[in-house]
Amino acid sequence: MATSCERVSNYQISLLHSSTNVSSLCNIYATFVAPLPDGKPTLCTFVFWNALGHKFAQLAAGGSIYVLLMVAGLDLYCNIARALGCVPFEVGKMLRRPDNVFLDS
């Protein structure tokens, strides 16, 4: 299992937020996904899907699940999927507490 976890590219690992542990994703994959019959995703695909889900969860945590409806309605999926680093987290923080954005001015 360690060799398949090492095959996850640095790009896919960088997509994960620092709170997500890749080794635990490997364990989840080995326990729940790998035993599935034909049509299961590869480990790299599983890690990528997890990273995307994490980004959208951070946006939704900004206060409303309706943010995801706006993303779908405005066709912003690709733009958010390409967002690097903590951008979705920071947008979620701004949605949660918009009044704190301009307090430093």
Instruction: Quick: pLDDT tens for 13-49.
Output: 555 544 455 568 888 888 888 988 888 999 999 989 9
Rounded CA-CA distance 12/35 in Å is: 23
Which of residues 59 and 101 earns the better pLDDT score?
Answer: 59
pLDDT band with cut points at 50, 70 and 90 for residue 89: confident
